[in-house]
Amino acid sequence: MAKESAGGAASAEYDPHAFPPFAVTADVAVFTQTRQGLEALLVERGEDPFAGCWALPGGFVKPEESLDEAAARELEEETGIRGGAYLEQLRAFGAPDRDPRMRVVTVCYVAVVPRLPKPEGGGDAARAELVPVSRVLSGRVKLAFDHREIFRAALEHVRTRLEYSPIATAFCGDVFSLTELRAVYEAVWGEELDPANFRRKVLGIPGFLEETEGTRQWQGRGRPGKLYRKGKAQRLDPPFRRAG
Provide the 3-class DSSP secondary structure of residue 151.
Answer: helix
Instruction: Please give the sequence-ordered ranges of beta strands (E in DSSP) within the chain, or none if there are none.
Output: 23-34, 37-45, 54-55, 58-60, 86-93, 104-112, 125-132, 176-177, 209-218, 221-230
Q: For residue 151, what are the domain limits?
A: 21-162
Is residue 124 pLDDT above 70, yes or no? no
Has residue 192 been placed in a domain? yes
Contact present, 86 and 112 (Cβ < 8 Å): yes
Using the 3D structure, point to which of 162, 182, 214 is the last residue of a domain.
162
Instruction: State residue 97's pLDDT score.
Output: 94
- 76 vs 140, which has greater pLDDT? 140
Bridge partners, residue 130, by sequence:
41
Number of domains in the chain: 2
Residue 193 and residue 156 share a domain: no
Does residue 2 belong to any structural domain of this protein?
no
Percent of the chain, pLDDT > 70?
88
Split at pLDDT 50, 70, 90, the class of 9 is: low
Task: Report the predicted TM-score, pTM, of the whole model to 2 decimal places.
Answer: 0.88
What is the Cα gyration radius of the chain? 21
User: Is 50 exceeded by the pLDDT of residue 58?
Assistant: yes
